[in-house]
Amino acid sequence: MNINIQKETLEAPLAQIIGVVEKRQTLPILGNVFIQLEQNTLTLVGSDLETEITTKVHNIGGEDGKTTVSARKLYDICRSLPAESQLALILEEDNRMVAKAGKSRFTLQTLSANDYPRLEETEWKHELKMSQQQLSQLLTRTAFSMAQQDVRYFLNGLLLEIRDNQMLSVATDGHRLAKTQITIDSTGIDLVQSIVPRKAVLEIAKFLDAGSEDDVTVKFNASHIRVQSGDFLFISKLIDGRFPDYEKVIPANLDKHIIIERSNLIDILSRAAILSNEKFRGVSLNISQSTLKVASHNPDQEHAKDEMSVQYSGEDIEIGFNVNYLLEALKACDSEEIDLGLLDPNTSCTFHGAGNSETVYLIMPMRL
């Protein structure tokens, strides 16, 4: 194998793959990237046995062949080279790879490509097409609410649900919930629910262009999800479990609705967060006629207070929240004004863009 490639051309797909390659792997070969040159098409694969990324680069010169080499070391070599460097990758007879660029020379160990574990392509039960922008919205508007290493393993991922020509994404960690939906053509598909693991969600989101109308093909079966756009292919195992009934969690009897300017609320919450308790991150919201007051304090007897004008004419209410949960949800919402729904200090709040309920965020209150 002999590959001649510009360093930027190799660096970009390696950057896509590097996130899925295990840093601490049980199998040494899982720290490697699979490299194959065949008929001027370079194929790169990274895997951790649960998720797999395949990407292709066309019109690459050299001699056909395949091998595996340390993904991190090859990526770092590419990053360290001067811009527009021409890189030669040569597989030698002693199963070592030599990477040469200008006067720089690197010799790397390789492992046989025949031993590289690949996720088997299975039969796919459902297939959908959407734009990169649509899939990006589904993930970025909800992914931050996924749990991390929760013993309730089904919370360590994101629910994708298809029903009635709608595709929904829902994430919750037990303290907050995010739900959004888009309209798609799901003709012939009944109710489908799949829980995509946290790592897979984050890796898919990395390659999506939030402003692109390029097509993405999404395929499902009972155990796997497959996402493909152009020369990028992603396959992941799904989490086997039952996601909580999110519809029951969202309260329907919230009788207090406050219209708030989102950017202004983010600003005053960010300021109040500075002096909040570092462990619990609590802030109190005191809402009265046309005014929202935010306050925080910490064990050092330090206090922060701020206020802003809102559209509200109901009875006074004071309620506490984790300020990080509020800020993350507010930053994911793209409406200029939000509708905050409340009932009492012990009931979860919801908010969504004013006049737009396709994306809904729920946060449980906390005692301060």
* Domains of the chain (ranges, CATH numbers): 2-115 (3.10.150.10), 126-248 (3.10.150.10), 250-363 (3.10.150.10)
Q: Taking a C-beta distance cutoff of 8 angstroms, is the pair 182, 193 a contact?
A: no
Q: Taking a C-beta distance cutoff of 8 angstroms, is the pair 94, 107 a contact?
A: no
Q: Quote the tokens at residue 103.
A: 């006067």
Task: Please list the pLDDT of the chain residue by residue as tens digits (368 residues).
Answer: 999 999 999 999 999 999 899 777 788 999 999 999 999 999 999 999 999 999 999 999 999 999 999 999 999 999 999 999 999 999 998 889 999 999 999 999 999 999 999 988 779 999 999 999 999 999 999 999 999 999 999 999 999 999 989 999 999 999 999 999 999 988 888 889 999 999 999 999 999 998 999 999 999 999 999 999 999 999 999 999 999 999 999 998 999 999 999 999 999 999 999 999 999 999 999 999 999 999 999 999 999 999 999 999 999 999 999 999 999 999 999 899 999 999 999 999 999 999 888 999 999 999 87
Dist. CA 320–CA 28, nearest whole Å = 49
Dist. CA 334–CA 338, nearest whole Å = 9
Helix 71-80 vs helix 7-18: crossing angle, to nearest 10:
140
pTM confidence score: 0.92
DSSP-H helix ranges across 43-109: 71-80
